[in-house]
Amino acid sequence: MTEQLNVGIVGASGFTGAELLRLLASHPNMNVVAVTGDTQAGQPVTGLYPGLAAAYGDMTYVRYEDAPLADMDVVFAGLPHRASQEIVSQLVDEVGHVIDLSADFRLKDPGVYEKWYEVPHVVPHLIERFAYGLPELFADELAAKQHVAVPGCYPTTATLALAPLLRAGVIQSTGIIVDAASGVSGAGRAPKPNTTFCAVDEDFSAYGLLGHRHTPEIEQNLDGAAVLFTPHLAPMNRGILATCYARPASTTSTEDLLQVLAEAYVDEPFIVVDERSPSTKATLGSNSCHITARYDDRTDTVMAIAALDNLVKGASGGAIQCANIVAGLDQTIGLPLVGMGI
């Protein structure tokens, strides 16, 4: 008989929580037992997300304090940064695995966290208990840890595009530029003046200039490389496209770059390396990341491009992939490989 794991979701009323519910509805080994959402406590899940009715028609949001989370096999925490620290500190010794989607346990140095997030880290001693949850590049960490810090959506995209090229010595570690555009769901469900329909529709804008909080996470993943990261808000629901630029470390070509990427990801089911330019629509609804690269001899520049669904591979799908691994399951279980296409 297939092992069944009891699952709880803290912060299930947000977009990442809803995406976890959608994906877990098709997971043969994970059974969602409790979902918390303090602002929605007492309300049915389907009142907020009618699309989940076929799988969660009888489920209701409860306050965190009232959720039966002790002894759960897996608890996903979909809370904002800082809010996750207190709750996660209560859970790490009470449940099998905490899969945290906030930024609170991603950065190895709490001083760096405090600098970029401008709040103190109140449980820095717990950081070392969390693996950084990008299996394609940090598998050894996941094998050694019980709990997981799920990467940010922008760092996932940029890291998957650039890390193999850096590790192979193909590009220099200074002067790297990452320009990335995300759909509006990346800003979360809470209403904000700059993410209303009228503000976003027919608009495209850069934000977080020179100081976006995902910068140190990208640099940490790239072994301390110097990165200029500029995020952009695109008028679409979901998806991220990252265009990354770097200087070559030696003589190279487009064919060489594609070969490095293909060899790095040859055994990774969720990575597609292709000559075609990636698009967000191609990854929509999937846990896959599409990557390509080019070398421009005119400007002596390496360009790497990656696309993914920010709510799946960039958040909830990546979280389930990590949960599968730490729970001893095949990493692909319950996760779509292909995008919706149209």
Query: What are the residue numbers of the active site?
Result: 153
- Residue at token pair 């299930």: 12
> Side-chain half-sphere of 98: how many Cα atoms within 13 Å?
28
Distance CA 315, CA 224 (A): 23
- 74-77 and 147-149 beta bridge pairing: unpaired
> Side-chain half-sphere of 215: how many Cα atoms within 13 Å?
20
Distance CA 211, CA 228 (A): 9
Q: What is the CA radius of gyration of the chain?
A: 19
Distance CA 100, CA 88 (A): 8
CA distances 206 to 78, 211, 310, Å, are: 25, 12, 17
CA distances 105 to 19, 99, 111, 279, Å, are: 21, 10, 12, 30
Q: How many residues does the structure list for the chain?
A: 342
204-225: buried (b, 16+ CB within 10 Å) or exposed (e) per residue?
A: eeeeeeeebbbbbbbbbbbeeb
- Residue at token pair 């995008």: 339
